[in-house]
Amino acid sequence: MARTILIAEDDEMLMDLYSSAFESKDFNVLKAFNGKEALEILDKEGSAVRFILLDIIMPKMDGLEFLGKIKKNDLYKNIPVVVCTSLFNPEDEEEAMSLGAKEYLVKSQNTPTQIIEKVEKYLQ
């Protein structure tokens, strides 16, 4: 069974980096460049998505708003979500965890390989 991950990240360079890294580990990667796109993808592909890697600062709908919406939806609330953001902000971390994120990672402190390792532990 394919391991499908949804990556919500507005930085195109980082999206390419993360998606290439996950694809090299046999993940099927769905890409969203903001929270609104991520919701649309879930509406189409939601039953296939096993994991969400989520940026916070994005246009149209930020990661925390997206997280709040999916955790209230019975179809998506059990999909594990790891927030992966550029800046460490204790308030954002507290909010992300209270909304149901599994982890809060700072991009500069984690290589793509380390992020994949963290994701894989939730898919076992």
pLDDT in tens, 103-117: 999 999 999 999 999
Contacts of 40 (CB under 8 A, 6+ apart): 32
- Residue 57: pLDDT band (50, 70, 90) is very high
Structure tokens at 93: 């971390």
Task: Characterise 35 by phi-psi region: left (phi > 0), alpha (psi -120 to 50), beta (else).
Answer: alpha
Q: Tokens in use for 92?
A: 């954002």
Residue 1 has pLDDT above 60, yes or no: no
Using only C-alpha atoms, what is the Rg of the chain?
13
Q: CA-CA-CA-CA torsion for 59, 94, 102, 57, nearest 10 degrees?
A: 10
Kindly list the structural domains of the chain, giving each domain's residue range(s) and its CATH number in brackets, ordered by start: 3-122 (3.40.50.2300)
Q: What is the mean pLDDT of residues 95-101?
A: 96
Tell me if 17 sits within 8 A of 6, measured CB to CB: no
Average pLDDT for the chain = 93
pLDDT band for position 122 (cuts 50, 70, 90): confident
| Per-residue pLDDT, 2 | 67
β-strands 103-106, 27-32 pairing: unpaired
Q: What is the token pair recorded at 109?
A: 């402190």
CA distances from 100 to 4, 23, 95 (A): 20, 26, 9
Are the C-beta atoms of 122 and 51 separated by less than 8 Å? yes
